[in-house]
Chain A
Amino acid sequence: MKPFNKVEFSFPSNSVNEGFARAAVSAFLSQLDPTVADLTDLKTAVSEAVTNAIVHGYRDKIGFVYISVKLFENGKAVVRVRDKGCGIPNIEEAMEPLFTTGGEERAGLGFAVMQSFCDCVRVTSAVGRGTAVTLTKYFEARE
């Protein structure tokens, strides 16, 4: 199936852009007429993925974060968050709840949140090349 609408944008990995990124995605998703709860879930998952790109992917430099959002007629939304940062050496380990390389102030719960707030989370990564996280969520048709 082809998406009926899509958007792509990118921005430098300054943490001040975290709020912009999730708000922009959220505004676009409203075309699917989601419930507030469903929309907040995906918005939160996007915030996690974007934060990871900024905090971990581009740990000690500024690089671009690329986002694409695709909307499908059956209520499916697919959000892809990509960075060209350091990559993840062991994806399985990284996705385990509480695992973090981020130090004291990180909870290690980003992937756990993405998984519990989305229907599907796919991660591909190559060390030195970057990481892509694909979040899929089905929005129920509203009454």
Chain B
Amino acid sequence: MSSGPVRAAWLRIEEIIDPLFPGGTNPMRNLGALACLMFAALLVSGIYLYIHFDTSTDGAWQSIKRLSDEQPWLGGWLRSMHRYAADLFVTFTLLHLLREWVLGHYSRFRAMTWLTGVPLLAFMYVSGIGGFWLNWDVLGQYAATASAELIDALPMLDGTLARNFLDSGAVSDRFFSLLVFIHLGVPLMLLFGLWFHLQRVTRPRILPPCALLLGQLVFLAAMALAWPVTSGAPADLDRVPVALALDWFVLHPLPLATALSAAVFWSLLAVLFGVLLAMPVFYARHTEPVAVVDADNCNGCRRCVDDCPYSAITLEAHPDGKPGKQIAVVAVERCASCGICAGACPSATPFRSVSELVNGIDMPQQSVDSLRRKLVDDLAHAETAPVVVFGCRHGIDVERNRSVDVLGYNLLCIGLLPPSFIEYALRGGAAGVVVCGCADASCEFRLGNQWTRERMLGTREPHLRRTVPPDRHRVVMLGRHEQGPLDAAIDSVRKNTSQGGNP
């Protein structure tokens, strides 16, 4: 499923939305971060609600109603936000899961992140459904009884949970406190699980970019103001709550279980979780060569460690035995084969006068030496001064652009490009250089285009030397179909060259 029509369609939709959300703010590319944002909103509003909440069967409904009636500006508002944030949390999380699935992000170096994501789903549903119990209105009554009946159907339990909801006398305050405890404890487990989920992701985008974050918070606040959430009638265990206005975002498992029967529901759920947990095993994609360190060319400078998007590199004592000297070591199972480390290494500069350019850390399938050789060879054979275009094989295909006066190179990731290659190409006779990364927030390896931009701007090591004429090169971040802007960038550096002199 990782390649194919579904993946292509998903990427296409993201690209169609891209122009509406400039600067990497496309929500489809920030679903994990949006889920985190909603979770944070749930925690903050939840704390306020809990302070004013009466954890008894008789007091719960009253205390929430008081919140809405007596302080609609804060308590009622936060209460409504709490509900809508839950709806959005579920929505964003399910979309996040779907996206990672469709894009094939579940195997190899992502297996741990995928596997630790799966339990979060269970925590999410338990937290969400459990929230409805606490309100103890007719909806809460339905949610509580239906959940209890569902849990009772599990074979290993004794099946008496639903007996707690037989009549009004049956629900003791102690049992109700247990329900409250679940709604506090499981979200904390979710928070802890989230920490595990992000262990292998270096610098995860936990919050969406500013504009999107503000947009979502304003949206949430406005929804809660315009359409405040209200309670139903108080729970009455002598009567079935009929014709319920259900919150389908959170509560859909309960009617689904009733429609299918509890046994079928649990079986399907077991199969679904089984499939999710088995995906990293069964769909382990072809294994690519991973980054390789060369001891003679690594001085332990740490740059690759800082830039690796999957925490795959650590530093250990250097085998040459010099005291204090370190060497980079790659954890094979974590390496994404992106080559961002190769672009970070100071040994990658093509100006070194060695016949074979051996990098401190390099990709066997696309070494900086092979890149230098190809570039030198191509420039030597060019009839007119060509524009050199460095691109990414996950982005717009710049090799397809090759012509008499354009030389394109698709890299493993644009982050593989050592900035010194730009100066090298210009000195080697290129008319100009275009560095073309993928659209903002769409880097397959998350950080490649960001590091590239910073290296070119000189705010990250290794940086492009300031002596390189700025009008002779362009850095663009483009979607896979933005041929027009790419052509424009190529034309603009060429125009600058024909007007200016030699570097």
Q: Do A and B bind each other?
A: no
Chain B residues in contact with chain A, CB under 8 A? none
